[in-house]
Amino acid sequence: MESYKHSCPCCGQHIEYTAGYCGKQMQCPICGQTVTFPAIPPGGRSGPSLRVKSLEARPGRTWAWKMPAALVFLRDFRHWKVVAQCAVPFLILGALLAGAAYVKNKLGAPSAVSPVSVAPAVQADPQAWQKMTDLNKADQAVRDRMKDLAAAHAYLSLMEQNNRKSQTCESSQRKGAEEAMQRAQNTVSAARQQFDAAMASYQKLGGAVDYRSQLQDY
């Protein structure tokens, strides 16, 4: 049976279909967005068939101009508050040193009778930079686990569809579809546990972003 290919307009995932699905809609197994197949196929043959070519997300459309990687990192960086807290002591110390230099240049050497008092030095937290680095790594780990969970859930949806279709088939085919669906459910459970563990580590380091609210009912 002749088949055709159509891409998800959101994530670029390629979906292979036949003429029987022309004009119909389905949810993309990768991003969950609604995909509408063309009403008129190139060939015109009929017969419903649908197959996801790949479960891995394809990169989106490439634009003519891309933002430099350094600017993208600065734009998406979520922990500017931690950076500001680390920088404040250095700014205070620099201001004190500049003030002392100004007084020395204007008033000359201090007399023995009235010595100029020296302001106490402000010490920065030596662990602040390491904390910020660990928090950034934990944040990236949480986002990676979110992607794994989305892919596992998409695979489970596909296996559930295959299981429903196999109800009219022979018992051996039904059994194989049920076993595949069970494996997909185990994969989703494992992905969820990994996400929860990464989220706990992220919050322990002081992460404030609620990534759980961004999950799509997984």
User: Could you give the CA distance from residue 22 to residue 44 in angstroms, rounded to a whole number?
Assistant: 9
Burial of 128 (0-12, 13-18, 19+ CB in 10 A): middle
Residue 113 is predicted with a pLDDT of 47
Tell me, yes or no, whether 129 and 179 share the same domain: yes
- In this prediction, residues 91-107 reach a mean pLDDT of 81
- In this prediction, residues 113-142 reach a mean pLDDT of 74
Tell me, yes or no, whether 80 and 173 share the same domain: yes
Structural domain count, the chain:
2
Residue 194 is predicted with a pLDDT of 94
Tell me, yes or no, whether 79 and 186 share the same domain: yes
Tell me, yes or no, whether 14 and 79 share the same domain: no
Tell me, yes or no, whether 77 and 20 share the same domain: no
Tell me, yes or no, whether 13 and 44 share the same domain: yes
User: Could you give the CA distance from residue 131 to residue 138 in angstroms, rounded to a whole number?
Assistant: 11
114 domain residue, yes or no: no
- What is the amino acid identity at position 148? D
- Domain of 9 in residue numbering reads as 4-52
